[in-house]
Amino acid sequence: MLKKKKTLSFPHHTLLADEVRGSVRIIDGLDYDRAAPQVVQSLRRRDISRLLFIHGTFAGDDVSGLFRQISHLSPTWSSRLKQLTKKGVDTVAGESGNFAPSYVDTCNQFLASGSSDPATRNITADLFSWSGENHHLGRLHAALKLLRRLQKDTTTASEKERVLILAHSHGGNVLAILSHLITLDRTKREKFLRHLATASSMGLVVHDGDERTTIRQILQQCDAIPDFDCVTLGTPLRYRWSAEFRGKIIHVINHRVMDNANPYRCFLPIHRFAHQGEFLGDLIQQIGVGGSDFPPSIFTPNERRMEAKLARLFEPTVKRKDYIRKLKVGRRESSDGTTLLLDYVQVDPANANRLLGHGIYTAESLLPLHLAVASTEINRD
């Protein structure tokens, strides 16, 4: 009897009763020292020399995926259109659910103010932008683009640096995909490439500006990247992280305890615990679970075929009919890393419910708090 050949797949959150529960704590944002010298000292204790901020869905430079199609004809025009689009998003969205350039400027000023030793190089911060598409293909493309970015940054650095990456919303799921890409052994890497090749040859090339790099070239240089730790902000439970990833994984979520018997659970408005106008924490983090993706454009049949293949790769058991069941679960914590639940009403009551509780993480006024939480928790044993 012939054995069925095993297909490649990555673990994902099922939100079933028997799924592995992760480490979770309720924290008080007022307990963290937000002073710049203490934050910088804590980051240096972990050998962090660079910070990278990643936005989430719909805050990117190519939400429709159209410019990716244009890149195959003219990478230069595609790059210009993406820059104009992201500039428009930054102007309209500002700091509400979006890491604007001013956010990074403020961060660099904060880090510089906390560095008292002129002989020590300052810790610096930068942005990473991706399409912001709400599907597997968009997030995979972002993970590959980020991997290439880390490779190029390493080759221009004078020494191998450790990086702290802070990602909002589905930007955290981009990092989860990245954790698998950098830990693939040779056999799985070949399976992964074959998986993509059978869907569409267009998926085997990543354009970044005028640079054209094949996915094989990117994956073959996974060792040429700095070590990094990850802090996600309001990331929906979609992809599991690679068990072989050695960096720290911290998840921060806007949460309000609604029931002392179930302190970690989110109760959506369909439950009796919610009242009109009441703060419920981050609802988008719940809404973004498996089954909430948008399909690629009907005008890109190759990408739609690729998306179907990637769905079987990243979330093989996800069915749209299970979506309401997942919402009722109300689970906050990831199975991987440590999840920290923070009631933002304590620290910013006026904006805690911005964008249904999902837009508070990127507020410039809370930058010192998020850096304090990140720097403290990545050093915790």
pLDDT tens for the chain, residues 1 to 381 = 445 556 788 999 999 999 999 999 999 999 999 999 999 999 999 999 999 999 999 999 999 988 888 887 888 888 899 999 999 999 999 999 999 999 999 999 999 999 877 657 789 999 999 999 999 999 999 999 999 999 988 755 555 679 999 999 999 999 999 999 999 999 999 989 888 875 555 456 777 766 778 888 899 888 889 999 999 999 999 999 999 999 999 999 999 998 899 999 998 765 544 455 567 899 999 999 999 999 998 878 888 888 998 999 999 999 999 999 999 999 999 999 999 999 999 999 989 999 999 999 999 999 999 999 999 999 998
Angle in degrees, CA 158, 162, 148, rounded to 5: 75
> How far, CA to CA in Å, does 293 sit from each of 57, 86, 210, 287, 348?
10, 21, 29, 10, 31
Helix 186-197 with 301-314: angle, nearest 10 deg:
150
What is the C-alpha to C-alpha distance for residues 123 and 112, in angstroms, rounded to an integer? Answer: 7
Buried b / exposed e over 290-301, threshold 16 CB at 10 Å, is: bbbbeebeeebe
Report pLDDT for 6: 62
Report pLDDT for 364: 96
H or E segment at 149? helix 136-156
Report pLDDT for 1: 47
The residue type found at 236 is: P
